[in-house]
Amino acid sequence: MKLQAVLFDVDGTLSETERDGHRVAFNMAFEETGVPWNWDEELYGKLLAVTGGKERMHYYVEHFLKEDPTKYSEQIPLLHKIKTKHYVSLMGSGRIPLRPGVHRLLDEIKKAGIKIAIVTTTTPENVYALVHGTLGPSGMEYFDLVAAGDIVPKKKPAPDIYHYALEQLNLKPEDTIAIEDSENGLKSSLGACVKTIITVNGYTEDQDFNGAALVLSDLGEPENPAEIIGVNDSGKTYVNLQLLQTIHAG
Ligand code: XBP
Ligand code: MG
C-alpha cells in the first residue's frame, strides 16, 4: 500500500514551541490581566500532562491551586484569547526555528506529491503564525490540511483529531504515517490506528513510547545525524521519505 499522507503534530514536533513560546505567552497573559500565576519551566513540564491551553489552565486551577475551576469559567477563555495574541506575536518575530530535518522532509514529501497535514491540539492562528514565522508567507502551501484546536470536542490523547484529519483527507489510517513528540500525541495517533514516529524533546524524553514505529532525538540531517532511541533496523541516521515509506510498508 502506498503512503499517501504524512500527518505532522506541531508543538514539540515541528518546533520546540512549548517552553519558549506557549509558556511565555501564558505568563504574558497572566501578567497583562493581573492574574497572580506564573508558570516556570519545571511546573510547565507537569502542566503538559494536559493538552490544550484552556484545558491546561483548568487543570492547573484544579490540581495545583486546589480550587474549583468553575470559578474561572469566564476568565479562562479570556486569558486564552490574550495568550493566543501574545503567542502569535512571539511567533511573528520568528524566534523559534523549525526542528532539525523538518524543512528538508517537508520539501521531499511535497515534491513526491504526497499529502501533508497538520494534526494538533493548538489553536489554528498559532499554527499559521509558526508556519509563517519559519517557512515564510507562502509556508502554508506545504499543507493540504490543518486539523487543529477546538474543531473536535476531545483533544489528544483522544484520537478524535486524527479521525477528523483522516475523514477530511478521505484516507484510511493505513494510508498515512504520523510524526509526534509526546506520549499524549502517540496515544492519539495510535488510537486512530496510524503508525507513528516519535522525535523526543526535553519535556518528553522520559515518556512511554511503547507502540511507536521509531523513536529518535529528532528527524536529523545527512550531515547532522539523529540519535536513535528505539526500533531502528534501517541503519539510517536521519528520516527521509524513503525511511517513512519503509516504515509505512513494514
Ligand atoms: C500541544 C499543546 C497545546 C499548546 C497550547 O499539543 O498541548 O495545547 O500547549 O495551545 P500538540 P493552545 O503537540 O499535540 O499540538 O493554547 O492554543 O491550546
Ligand atoms: Mg506535540
Ligand 1 near 11 CB (within 6 A): yes
Residue whose C-alpha is closest to residue 8's, from 171, 158, 194: 194
- Model confidence over 119-153: pLDDT tens digits? 999 999 999 999 999 999 999 999 999 999 999 99
- Model confidence over 16-36: pLDDT tens digits? 999 999 999 999 999 999 999
- Mean pLDDT, the chain, rounded, equals 96
Range(s) of the domain holding residue 115: 5-15+98-249
Q: What is the DSSP letter of 216?
A: E
- CA-nearest residue for atom 2, ligand 1, is 51
Indicate whether 144 and 165 sit together in one domain: yes
Ligand 1 near 17 CB (within 6 A): no
Q: What is the DSSP letter of 11?
A: B
Indicate whether 88 and 102 sit together in one domain: no
Task: Output the CA 186–ligand 2 centroid distance in Å.
Answer: 9
Task: Output the CA 121–ligand 1 centroid distance in Å.
Answer: 5
Task: Output the CA 30–ligand 2 centroid distance in Å.
Answer: 23
- Model confidence over 194-232: pLDDT tens digits? 999 999 999 999 999 999 999 999 999 999 999 888 876
If phi over 0 gives left and psi between -120 and 50 gives alpha, with beta otherwise, what is residue 101?
Answer: left
* Residues belonging to the active site: 9, 11
Structural domain ending residue among the three candidates 41, 62, 92: 92
Indicate whether 83 and 130 sit together in one domain: no
Q: What is the CATH number of the domain that holds 138?
A: 3.40.50.1000
Indicate whether 47 and 133 sit together in one domain: no
Output the pLDDT for position 36: 96
Residue corresponding to grid cell 502542566? 47
Ligand 1 near 52 CB (within 6 A): yes
With the most atoms of ligand 1 within 8 angstroms of its CB, the residue from 7, 22, 128, 199 to mutate is: 22
- What CA–CA distances, in Å, run from 17 to 12, 122, 163, 181? 6, 11, 24, 12
**Other beta carbons less than 10 A from residue 95's beta carbon:** 12
Indicate whether 11 and 54 sit together in one domain: no
What is this structure's pTM? 0.96
Structural domain ending residue among the three candidates 67, 92, 117: 92
Helix%, strand%, coil% for the chain, nearest 5: 45, 15, 40
Over residues 243-247, the mean pLDDT reads 95
Task: Output the CA 64–ligand 2 centroid distance in Å.
Answer: 22
Structural domain ending residue among the three candidates 92, 123, 141: 92
**DSSP strand pairing (214-216 vs 228-230):** antiparallel
Output the pLDDT for position 44: 97
- CA-nearest residue for atom 10, ligand 1, is 122
Output the pLDDT for position 232: 64
